[in-house]
Structure 1
């Protein structure tokens, strides 16, 4: 059930990114949409969603994984992480 809603949302977002993205969801710099995308991709994998149909979203994820602000925000990189 959760996987289907993720697919529906990613299908809509992928189309928007194709039209409006310039490396990020909506332009050439990260926005709140990119911040929200990261945990959704994590959830998609948790529910075994096939992400092959969303290449632009995966490109954004790769870009975020190399961006200092996103690296600093990873839960495992927080001072209180065990």
Structure 2
């Protein structure tokens, strides 16, 4: 049976490789207007990641080649 506790991030209370993979997927889901309402945990984790400086600096919109 799967656990329902993800912590502050995908696997516990510190960012991990799983979060690095999750954020771009959620970004693209939003970009293509996918309904994420059925995934509150994924949305919560992605939003928490987006508050961290490292994720903000890696965001597509702030890259030198962003349009």
1:10 equivalent in structure 2: none
CA RMSD of aligned residues (A): 1.9
1:59 maps to 44
User: Where does structure 1 lack aligned partners over 5 or more consecutive residues?
Assistant: 1-14
Deviation above 4 Å: which 4+ runs of structure 1? none
- For 1:39 and 1:33, locate their aligned partners in 2 and report how far apart those are by CA, in whole Å: 11
**Under a length normalisation based on structure 2, what TM-score does the superposition of the two structures give?**
0.77
Unaligned runs of 5+ residues in structure 2 are none
Match 2:18 to one of 33, 40, 57: 33
TM-score by length of 1: 0.66
Decide which structure has greater helix share: 1
- Give the paired residue count: 66
